[in-house]
């Protein structure tokens, strides 16, 4: 195997594991924190995210292997193992962990586990019946081929035994026919989850394509005006003075209450004194609540403004770079996957660049690196769309939204299921978008030929339904994010809310 590829695979695997553990730590709910708490769901979350991201990285490996740089790996077996692992996670492991986590907490370990096993068996039977029945009717792939017929004559030399061929006449127009073949059950399972994954890939990937750069840019444009240390110190002194005044008022109220309790006065005089003390206590309580809000606002400002001032500008740079990449992807989909001229893509665009780099042996690894980055950018967009928007029921609610420090493990498992099934479609999407570059690879044979021309499935791929939907949806999301997506960081939202409450209370 190519040393560069081997080192890259090891590094990428380690990085993915670290990133996914970090993502888990950021979003996990405090109730699920701790090494011994919900250990199975945590393992499946990290494993599922690593597999989802990692299988997209396998497309460049397949390309390198087809070019003779992968050491002759059996990529057909490799892809089938990877995608069957997806199926096992989607049908068995994640549902089991989800149902067990959702089980009655008061039930014992064995009762809760048995209940999860029963639900998992029901889930498995549902998918088995659905896949098995559709496999019986839709397992045939009709692959279009063109045949040409020529009339040939032979002549044999008397001095040699070699035979020469001479073309007398031939057909210049090919005959279009279909080569019918039944795909294996494993390939059909891949096709089934690919089709399911396309719907989520379009939704999440289209939403995340421009959300990645715009979130970086808005983090820069929405940055607060930095307060000087002198201003922070002045606010601190005012809070200290207010705290001292509140303490004195509190002590005075305490003394007045003690005096009123010991004073021997008439009924009406005592009621008048208690009424005045009650009003004073309410005023004091309101002043204390106002002080708490001002102090909380001071703490947010103090902590927030400690960040490095260079970070917002780095986010702006990252946003500009990501916006360029998103636009390039959008153009690539438009002119290579959607617009056709005489039955061929309108332009190769990125394909031509990658093929050109690949043909130069010294720059082959550059083509692999660029292709890997473009592929992983798409799965990043899927993850971003999932985290930012979630699976929304229009005009109603979002199912299992991902919220930092508030995400329970059942929500994690639900969203990891969506990301895994989306990543399978992402693999086919990358294969289609770079059809020239990935030619003669195993992934192209599986997704670009067998799965693409299956009965029923063929209609979606032949008419570029998902690619068109991706372009339209990503464009609509871009308009939405430009109009309504300028959302401040959570800390600044809390700060603005506190300042509004303070201003309204002082009026």
Q: Which residues of 349-362 are buried (b: 16+ CB within 10 A; e: fewer)?
A: bbbeebeebbeeee
At 429, list the tokens.
């999407």
With contact defined as beta carbons under 8 Å apart, do 386 and 203 qualify? no
Q: What mean pLDDT comes out for the span 310-327?
A: 91
Please determine, for residue 99, whether its predicted confidence score (pLDDT) is greater than 60: yes
Tell which wins on pLDDT, 25 or 72. Answer: 25
Band of the pLDDT at 256, cuts 50, 70, 90? confident
Mean pLDDT of the chain: 80
Instruction: Return phi, psi of residue 182, to 5°.
Output: -90, 125
Band of the pLDDT at 226, cuts 50, 70, 90? low
Domain coordinates of the chain in residue numbers?
3-139+183-223+309-506, 229-304
As a whole number of angstroms, the longest Cα–Cα distance in the chain is 144
Please determine, for residue 163, whether its predicted confidence score (pLDDT) is greater than 60: no
With contact defined as beta carbons under 8 Å apart, do 148 and 180 qualify? no
Q: What mean pLDDT comes out for the span 64-68?
A: 76
> What does R_g of the chain's alpha carbons equal in angstroms?
32
Band of the pLDDT at 19, cuts 50, 70, 90? confident
- pLDDT tens-digit series, residues 436-495: 888 888 888 888 888 888 989 989 988 889 999 999 999 999 998 888 766 655 555 555
- What's the confidence (pLDDT) of residue 444? 86
The number of beta carbons lying within 10 Å of the beta carbon of residue 144 is 11
Please determine, for residue 167, whether its predicted confidence score (pLDDT) is greater than 60: no
Among 448, 396, 390, 443, smallest CA distance to 419 is for 390
Percent of the chain's residues with pLDDT above 90: 22
Band of the pLDDT at 395, cuts 50, 70, 90? very low
At 31, list the tokens.
């109730």
- What's the confidence (pLDDT) of residue 265? 59
Please determine, for residue 34, whether its predicted confidence score (pLDDT) is greater than 80: no
At 473, list the tokens.
């949806």
């Amino acid at each position: 195997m190519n040393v560069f590829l081997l080192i890259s695979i090891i590094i990428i695997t380690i990085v993915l594991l670290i990133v996914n553990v970090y993502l888990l730590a950021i979003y996990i709910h405090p109730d699920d924190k701790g090494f011994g708490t919900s250990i199975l769901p945590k393992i499946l979350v990290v494993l599922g995210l690593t597999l989802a991201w990692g299988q997209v990285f396998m497309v460049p490996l397949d390309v390198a292997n087809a070019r003779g740089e992968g050491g002759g790996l059996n990529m057909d077996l490799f892809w089938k193992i990877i995608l069957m692992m997806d199926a096992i996670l989607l049908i068995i492991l994640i549902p089991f962990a989800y149902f067990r986590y959702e089980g009655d907490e008061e039930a014992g370990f064995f009762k809760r586990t048995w209940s999860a096993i029963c639900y998992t068996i029901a889930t498995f039977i549902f998918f088995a019946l659905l896949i098995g029945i559709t496999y019986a009717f839709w397992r045939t792939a009709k692959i279009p081929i063109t045949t040409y017929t020529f009339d040939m004559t032979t002549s044999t030399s008397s001095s040699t035994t070699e035979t020469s061929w001479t073309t007398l006449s031939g057909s210049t127009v090919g005959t279009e026919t279909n080569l019918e073949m039944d795909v294996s059950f494993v390939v059909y399972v891949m096709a089934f989850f690919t089709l399911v994954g396309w719907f989520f890939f379009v939704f999440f990937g289209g939403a995340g394509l421009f959300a990645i750069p715009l979130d970086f840019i808005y983090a820069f444009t929405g940055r607060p005006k930095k307060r000087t240390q002198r201003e922070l110190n002045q606010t601190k002194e005012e809070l200290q003075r207010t705290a001292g005044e509140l303490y004195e008022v509190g002590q005075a109220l305490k003394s007045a209450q003690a005096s009123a309790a010991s004073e021997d006065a008439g009924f009406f005089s005592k009621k008048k004194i208690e009424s005045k003390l009650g009003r004073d206590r309410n005023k004091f309580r309101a002043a204390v609540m106002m002080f708490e809000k001002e102090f909380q606002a001071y703490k947010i400002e103090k902590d927030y403004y400690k960040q490095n001032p260079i970070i917002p500008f780095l986010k702006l740079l990252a946003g500009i770079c990501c916006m360029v990449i998103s636009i390039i992807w959008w153009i690539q989909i438009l002119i290579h996957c959607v617009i056709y001229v005489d039955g061929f893509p309108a332009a190769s665009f990125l394909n031509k660049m990658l093929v050109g780099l690949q043909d130069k042996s010294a720059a082959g690894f550059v083509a692999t690196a660029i292709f890997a980055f473009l592929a992983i950018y798409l799965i990043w967009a899927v993850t971003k769309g999932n985290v930012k928007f979630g699976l929304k029921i229009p005009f109603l609610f979002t199912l299992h939204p991902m919220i930092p420090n508030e995400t329970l493990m059942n929500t994690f498992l639900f969203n990891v299921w969506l990301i895994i099934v989306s990543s399978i479609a992402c693999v086919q999407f990358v294969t289609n978008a770079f059809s020239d570059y990935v030619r003669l690879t195993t992934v192209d044979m599986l997704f670009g030929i067998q799965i693409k021309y299956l009965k029923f499935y063929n209609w979606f791929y032949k008419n570029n339904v998902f690619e068109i939907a991706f372009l339209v949806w990503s464009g609509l999301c871009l308009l939405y994010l430009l109009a309504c997506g300028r959302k401040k960081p959570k800390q600044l939202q809390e700060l603005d809310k506190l300042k509004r409450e303070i201003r309204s209370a002082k009026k």
